[in-house]
Homo-oligomer: A and B are copies of this chain.
Amino acid sequence: MKENPSSPSRKAGRPLSFDPEAALDPAMLLFWRHGYEATSLAELTQAMRVTPPSIYVAYGDKKGLFRAALKRYLTLPISPFDVIARAPTGLLAARALVEGAVIAFTGDNTPSGCLLASAAIAVSPQAEDVRNELATIRRDIETALCNKISEDAEIIAFAAGTDSATLAAYVMATIQGLSTLARDGADRNKLEKVAQFSLSLLPSVAA
């Protein structure tokens, strides 16, 4: 009767025939391209080469699968939170975010634009919670950037005449806009020009 919980991990029953982490890649790409609601379970199972019941065993439901894919997206290749945390200053974080967005939104092997920015913009009432989750993440990024900018002493010398909250919101708006431009067909060169023009509004760090 005495169970042995000392096993490194309790295993019983038939093992999973697929890697739940690896199978997230094709799912992430589909959600990236078509968004949350417009991606059907039929498309997902076909791309993941997994049967419907396996989806529910591994991820719970469609929303669970989306959350897992989103988590994977946000750490691929680097998290925006990490970019902010690792940047020496808030303004450098802003630059790194925008410049990283240009690269990420115009990759050759990935859909155009940003999954976080476009996967659940307009949704049905049944997917409002998904929409709110993404909005919360966007706001969290904005808040992290705002805090980072506020930490900077250089903000004191910021002569452009605005506050860190507006500056952070401006950076987020720029990134959202770049995502739509990319989805509408803008190439990396065009996006780079817009990004650099946008960043020219930020005070230079050297100054």
Contact = CB atoms under 8 A, between A and B. Distances in A.
Given A122-B34, A180-B121, A183-B121, A173 B170 contact: no
A190 B139 CA distance: 13
B172 A181 contact: yes
Contact of A197 (B124, B127, B162): B162
Contacts of A204: none
Given A36-B122, A166-B190, A177-B177, 19 more contacts: A34-B123, A37-B37, A38-B122, A39-B124, A40-B124, A118-B122, A121-B183, A138-B180, A161-B200, A165-B190, A169-B181, A169-B194, A173-B173, A173-B174, A173-B177, A173-B178, A173-B180, A173-B181, A176-B180
Contact of A122 (B33, B166, B177): B33
Given A162-B193, A170-B198, A121 B35 contact: yes
A184 B121 CA distance: 9
Contacts of A119: 122
Contacts of A38: 37, 122-124, 127
A12 to B, nearest CB: 40
5 contacts: A169-B190, A172-B180, A172-B181, A197-B201, A201-B201
**Size band of the A side of the interface?**
35 or more
For this chain, the copies found in one complex come to: 2
Contacts of A174: 173-174, 177
Nearest to A123: B38
A175 interface: yes
A64 interface: no
A172 B198 CA distance: 12
A91 interface: no
A68 interface: no
Interface string A115-129: 001111111110100
Interface string A35-69: 11111100000000000000000000000000000
